[in-house]
A and B are shown apart, each in its own frame.
Chain A
Amino acid sequence: MRHIISILLENEAGALSRVCGLFSARAYNIESLNVAPTEDPSLSRISIVTRGSDDVLEQITKQLNKLVDVLRVVDLAEGPSLERELMLVKVRAEGEQREEAKRLTDIFRGSIIDVSDSAYVIQLAGSSAKLDAFIEALDASSILETVRTGACGLGRGGRILKA
């Protein structure tokens, strides 16, 4: 099953590599990973999308908790949660493709943030599944390049990850 693991850790040199190193050393898979400082600049928050059985997920959270730099670990899949990912797509925007790209962007509630004679850059945010669906909906030959941030997430309501 797919899980988003949220990690609150010291914003120190090497902290991210401890987390990445743990995943590779113990053969856990990383589907995506993002990291940035929080509102408290001494802390960073990492969101990792991973897959595994319940046993593997239990080990992942326990092993992460063991890292000296890590303060809190939560598996967002354990309760109601929100998930968002940001994607930028550069598509061919010539002739009929130009209209089609604009239409699809509106349907998916994305926005076009760069326009040139031959291409658009579309910005789209949403769950990873929604971004996948958008890629699916586009004519494959019109896609010039894509970049995605990987998913990040928060627990709904009173579920809070804080130091």
Chain B
Amino acid sequence: MMTGAEILIRCLQEEKVEHIFGYPGGAVLHIYDELFKQQEIKHVLVRHEQAAVHAADGYARSSQQVGVALVTSGPGATNAVTGIATAYMDSIPIVVISGQVPTQAIGMDAFQEVDMVGITRPCVKHNFLVKDVREIAPTVKKAFHIAKTGRPGPVVIDIPKDVTAEKCAFEYPQKFSMRSYNPIMKGHTGQIKKAAALLAKAKQPMILVGGGAVLSDASEALGRLVRHLGYPMSNTLMGIGAFPANDPLNLGMPGMHGTVESNMAIHHCDVLLAVGTRFGDRVIGNPAHFSGEPRKVIHIDIDPSSISKRVKVDVPIVGNVRDVLEELCVQLGESRPPEAQTAEWWKKIGEWRNKKSLKYKQPSDLIMPQYVVQKLHEITGGNAIVTTDVGQHQMWAAQYYGFERPRRWLTSGGLGTMGVGLPYAMGAAFANPGETVVCITGEASIQMCIQELSTARQFRLPVKIVCLNNRYLGMVRQWQEMFYGSRYSETYMDSLPDFVKLAEAYGHVGMRIERPEDVEPALKKAFGEHKDDLVFMDFITNREANVFPMVAAGKGLTEMILAEDL
């Protein structure tokens, strides 16, 4: 006989969980007591529950493991909600265990009681309230299975305190089945044949790759397919790293801040192969404008509801991206489409490329944020795991840090959650010991989870923080400049802390960099002599630099505003 808490920890060990990010409290005291008594699972004490879930999320994004967070009831649970919703929007497999008040107290407005299952219902793949100690083991088994299979996502397990104290015999189910949950993995062969035929004949083909390719670890199959066809392609923000940035077939990121060549090719192609992407509004802009151009769309996605949701699809293929791509390679066979078939198309793409839509000028007296990202790429050899927060710096990181491999780029794409950068970096550091982890952030975003500098100190995480400090909520200010007559309503960050002193107060290394010629030496120092320290680099950048190209909200992909237009 074991207590519920003991059973829970044993289950997590059975699931090969090595790290849990969490914060203790009344409802999870029994669980923390069991954690104390064992060695296998390492608990990472964060300083705020939101960061626990973000760190578990970053852990999952940067590895192929399910991230795990543990929080107490009430405020612990509500603090976790932003993290859960962030993981949900980007389909990240995490399991969040929340304590609940004792069964008898549920519904009595007990101290630190909140209806966690009710609150999280719209932003989880599934959730459970465990009311019987005998249900703990099967529930944990189901939770991990649901989180990582099909379209991945967060699963919440809410456990009342008394259930963690009750006892029963422990047996971890090795096999189980759920009659109501059987995700489709293999694509329909007939549909894949149709796709192969369309692709083989395409004169103006384009391949659009989203986060599904990263989540299903499809990079190898994707690389084979793209290179076999020799067709142009583009990784969305969530797909970054699925196919290498330096390959000439890669036209760069599409969408609201995408390159001219990528957006034009997506709009004007005759066959679009969309791979694990949901045609989000940031990727294709106005769907009516997008649909104005005749083209055949092939859409591979594991989630049937992503297909024909925003864009009409001609050849839907429901299945796991990697499995479908592998079969598509088989169906395409040995013969390659002749180069002449797409020569005209590549010529057009060359013209769009010549616009050099990402070019910018680095003046001698002001640091351009793009320049910092490019130098960072140089000095880290493009090999760092890069996390970001949300805003202008996020877009510059996506545009200028060329990613060659998947799971090296951790960003909140769907929910756009400021504050994820530092906790993501923590999660990535635990999942990838010895790897270089960089958090590119802004002076506003970093303050949303700044308390985690303390966690990073406790665990000696040598994360490098690259803060592009423009003293504005830059992205909001950019919109205000462009669409609200430069009325900068509440986007001025007054009374900023001295980040150098702040970093030092937490026991880290702080640097302020104010001149362009100091960028490279500072980065070299941070990644050289301070390799093993957390270094907070506060880059004082050009205040009013904007992110270009830009497709304004509600506009079509071809209606880009370029830097030179202004």
* A18 in the interface (beta carbon within 8 A): yes
A residues near B126, Cβ cutoff 8 Å: 68-69
Contact between A63 and B305 (Cβ–Cβ < 8 Å)?
yes
Closest A-chain residue to B151, C-beta based? A66
The answer to whether B146 touches A163 (Cβ under 8 A) is no
Interface residues in A8-46 by Cβ distance below 8 A to B read 9-10, 13-14, 17-18, 21, 25
Residue pair B305, A68 in contact (C-beta under 8 Å): no
Q: Mark B103-130, 1 if CB is under 8 A from A, else 0.
A: 0000000000000011001100110010
At the interface, yes or no: A70 with Cβ under 8 Å from chain B? yes
- Interface membership of B181, Cβ < 8 A: yes
Q: Are B180 and A25 in contact (CB under 8 A)?
A: no
| A side interface size, CB within 8 A | 20
B486 on the interface (CB 8 Å rule)?
Answer: no
CB atoms of A21 and B121 under 8 A apart = yes
Complex interface bits, A62-105 against B, C-beta within 8 A gives 1, otherwise 0: 11011011110000000000000000000000000000000000
Q: How far is the CA of A45 from the CA of B181 in the complex (A)?
A: 17
B309 in the interface, Cβ–Cβ < 8 Å? Answer: yes
List the A side residues contacting B178 at CB < 8 Å.
68
Inter-chain CA distance A10–B126, complex, in Å, is 13
Q: Are B121 and A62 in contact (CB under 8 A)?
A: no
Task: Flag whether B308 is at the interface (Cβ < 8 A).
Answer: yes
Structural contact, A14 and B117, CB atoms closer than 8 A: yes
Tell me whether B304 is interfacial, beta carbon within 8 Å.
Answer: yes
Inter-chain contacts of A55 with B (CB < 8 A): 308
Binding site for A on B (CB under 8 A): 117-118, 121-122, 125-126, 129, 146, 178-181, 303-305, 308-309
Bound together, the chains give a CA A63 to CA B308 distance in angstroms of 12
Q: Which B residues are in CB contact (< 8 Å) with A71?
A: 179-180
* Cross-chain contact B121 with A68 (CB below 8 angstroms): no
Chain B residues with CB under 8 Å of A106's CB are none
Residue with the greatest number of chain B CB neighbours at <10 A, chosen from A9, A62, A66, A70: A66
Q: Given the complex, which residues of B lie within 8 Å of A70, measured CB to CB?
A: 180
**CB-CB nearest in chain B for A14:** B117
Shortest C-beta distance, B483 to chain A (Å), equals 26
Q: Are A18 and B121 in contact (CB under 8 A)?
A: yes
| A133–B17 CA distance with the chains assembled, in angstroms | 62
Give the B-binding residues of A (Cβ under 8 A).
Answer: 9-10, 13-14, 17-18, 21, 25, 55, 58-59, 62-63, 65-66, 68-71, 163
Q: Is the CB of A13 within 8 A of B179?
A: no
User: How far apart are the CA atoms of A101 and B152 in the complex, in Å?
Assistant: 58
Residue of A nearest to B155 (CB): A68
Q: Which residue of A lies closest to B117 (CB)?
A: A14
> Which chain B positions have C-beta within 8 A of A65?
304-305
Closest-CB distance, B300 to chain A (whole angstroms): 16
Q: Separation in Å of the B281 CB from the closest CB of chain A?
A: 15
A7 to chain B, nearest CB (A): 11
Q: Which of A18, A63, A68 lies in contact with B181, CB distance below 8 A?
A: A68
Per the bound structure, the CA–CA distance linking A68 and B304 in Å amounts to 14
How far is B180's CA from A70's CA once the two chains are assembled, in angstroms? 6
Q: A58 — which chain B residues lie within 8 A by C-beta? A: 308
Cα A11 to Cα B303 with chains together (Å): 24
Partner among B122, B146, B180, B304 whose Cβ is within 8 Å of the Cβ of A10:
B180
Known: A13-B129, A63-B305. A69 touches B121 (CB 8 A): no
A21 with B122: CB separation less than 8 A? yes
Alpha-carbon distance between A21 and B304 when the two chains are bound, in angstroms: 20
